[in-house]
Structure 1
Amino acid sequence: MAPPVPGATAWRLEIHDELGSTSDCCIAQAGVGAEAGLAIMARRQTSGRGSRGRDWQDPGGNLAFSVLLRPIKAEGAVGLWPFVAGLAFHGAILPWIRDPAQLRLKWPNDLLLGGRKTAGILIESGSDAIGRWLVIGFGANLRAAPSIAGRTLACVADYGTAPDPAVVARAICVELDRWQAVWRSDGFGSLRAAWLERAHPLGTRLVVRGESGQVEGSFVGLDEQGMLLLDCADGLKRISTGEILLLDRDATGGSGRAGT
């Protein structure tokens, strides 16, 4: 086990050469009463998973990292944690990017480089005799992007310097403490403002795919609950879930088309 990460949370970072899933390991530990602050990283992950049931492929040298949190009830709904996690992830990756404007957040849980997905977050929750827990999984293409049919992905190495995954894992822990403190002291409004500063620009054309079909419109912000605000041909829509595709403009405000 690596030394603890300093900060408000008693982080306990474990680094493994290979695991099936870092999130599965955290969930298993939560099930036997592990306390908040458990952080598990694998230098190679063989059974990683992403959002909407997708596999998260790991060619090696990338980040596979999960943390266990037991949030206090007053901290807010699970639905606001993607913003804490996204801001923490952005802050941990940003120092390694040559042009900071290339790194953008995409609602609700992705990071883009040059308009292409480079990292994602998966949040899972449960409860036990101790109380409710969250496991937040962070996956990032640091050294290489996997080849996936129909998708064009990016990696940090193409836009800067690929750091050691353990350095990024430790930075995420520090940033999670930072943004949790902002949330508790200033409320979600401060998180929303910070998130919007780091997100794809207002006016970006988006398509949202959901179980009932898809809608297209212009991104106009987030509401007070973190829902996506989309200006569509038939009026303003609030989106609570869905797969997001960026159209017409990439995440840095240039021309062209970006995928998920």
Structure 2
Amino acid sequence: MTQPAHRPSVVTIPRGDGSAWRMEVHDRLGSTSDLSKARLEAGEGADGVAILALEQTAGRGSRGREWCDPGGNLALSIMLVGQGALVPVGLWPFIAGLALHDAIAGYVPAGHALELKWPNDLLLDGCKMAGILIESGIGPGVSWQVIGIGANLRGKPDIAGRTLACLADCGGDVPDAPEVARAILHHLDLWLSRYRANGFGAIRTAWLERGHAIGTSIRVTAGNRQFIGTFAGLGDDGILLLRTPEGVRRVVTGDVLMVPAHPE
């Protein structure tokens, strides 16, 4: 396992159940999720440990895409082991998405729109500013999950054909990555508590309140197939419901793109 070159600082963040998050803050890493996975696969990971990189050089997004970091942004991965990994992996994008949304919302000035996009993106004024990557596996005798979160705070990568957003686009003071990471971990505990008390129904309702509106025109690409329709909500298991001329289609996985309601 590749160890970071410099010893990180460690921040202890109290949790509501009497335990604490242990957040390692690294100056520079290739990938926070890769380091988390390497530790877990070697049996060295622990529940409730978060790894934050102030600079990330080899971040990953969904479907193997690179998540470029021009500097000053958030690169956070959270380890969940044993009891901490009991939430079904398919529900984590919604729980983590709510935590991410609510943490960022506190820094977004009035007049700007922040919304979740199925299954794991956060949009600022209609453009992607953050994403979530959930990975799971089995280490020596224990199951684990890693929640990777990347968010554009102070800058955004230049990617051909895509318009991205960052928090700095809103003007005003931009929080640093450790501050945002603490806020995410705080809200993650709140939403985990609500999930355990009320089940996925409460998560689904809250996600729909913060997500793209019912009736939003979207295009879904799944493999070599493409479907165009309108957002019809979420199933009881978080599946995307897409209303098409042929009826409502249940979408398990795919790339989702917002499209104009009346494309020319």
TM-score tier after normalising by the smaller chain length: over 0.9
The answer to whether the Cα contact below 8 Å between 1:75 and 1:184 also exists between their aligned partners in 2 is: no
Corresponding letter in the other structure for 1:122: L
**Percent identity, aligned pairs only?**
52
**What is aligned with 2:185?**
173
Q: Deviations over 1:72-115 (max 9, x none)?
A: 39944210111111001111111110137600000000000111
Deviation at 1:244, TM superposition (A): 0.3
**What is aligned with 1:252?**
none
**What is aligned with 2:77?**
66
Going from structure 1 to structure 2, the CA distance change for 1:105 and 1:6 (only over 3 Å counts) comes to same
Q: What is the rounded CA distance, in whole Å, between the counterparts of 2:165 and 2:74 in structure 1?
A: 14
Q: What is the rounded CA distance, in whole Å, between the counterparts of 1:180 and 1:45 in structure 2?
A: 27
The answer to whether the Cα contact below 8 Å between 1:118 and 1:153 also exists between their aligned partners in 2 is: yes
Secondary structure of 1:72's aligned partner: helix
Corresponding letter in the other structure for 1:165: A
Deviation at 1:25, TM superposition (A): 1.0
TM-score normalised over the length of structure 1:
0.92
Q: Does 1:30 align with 2:17?
A: no
**What is aligned with 1:215?**
227
Deviation at 1:130, TM superposition (A): 3.9
Structure 1 unaligned spans of 5+:
250-254
**What is aligned with 1:6?**
14
**What is aligned with 1:55?**
66
Q: What is the rounded CA distance, in whole Å, between the counterparts of 2:224 and 2:205 in structure 1?
A: 30
Which residue of the other structure, out of 209, 216, 234, is the alignment partner of 1:204?
A: 216
Q: What is the rounded CA distance, in whole Å, between the counterparts of 2:200 and 2:246 in structure 1?
A: 29
Write the mapping of 1:174-253 to structure 2, written as runs, cut at 5 A: 174-248=186-260
Deviation at 1:212, TM superposition (A): 3.5
Going from structure 1 to structure 2, the CA distance change for 1:180 and 1:256 (only over 3 Å counts) comes to farther
CA RMSD of aligned residues (A): 1.9
Number of residue pairs aligned between Structure 1 and Structure 2 = 252
The answer to whether the Cα contact below 8 Å between 2:218 and 2:230 also exists between their aligned partners in 1 is: yes
Which residue of the other structure, out of 144, 147, 158, is the alignment partner of 1:147?
A: 158
Deviation at 1:176, TM superposition (A): 1.1
Corresponding letter in the other structure for 2:21: W
Q: What is the rounded CA distance, in whole Å, between the counterparts of 2:57 and 2:260 in structure 1?
A: 35
Structure 2 unaligned spans of 5+:
1-8
**What is aligned with 2:5?**
none
Deviation at 1:38, TM superposition (A): 0.9
Which residue of the other structure, out of 14, 24, 30, is the alignment partner of 1:20?
A: 30
Deviation at 1:248, TM superposition (A): 1.4
Corresponding letter in the other structure for 2:204: R
Secondary structure of 1:96's aligned partner: coil
Question: Could you list the runs of 4 or more consecutive aligned residues of structure 1 that deviate by over 3 angstroms after TM superposition?
Answer: 71-76
Q: What is the rounded CA distance, in whole Å, between the counterparts of 2:61 and 2:205 in structure 1?
A: 26
Secondary structure of 1:220's aligned partner: strand
Q: What is the rounded CA distance, in whole Å, between the counterparts of 1:230 and 1:71 in structure 2?
A: 35
Corresponding letter in the other structure for 1:49: R
Going from structure 1 to structure 2, the CA distance change for 1:235 and 1:101 (only over 3 Å counts) comes to farther
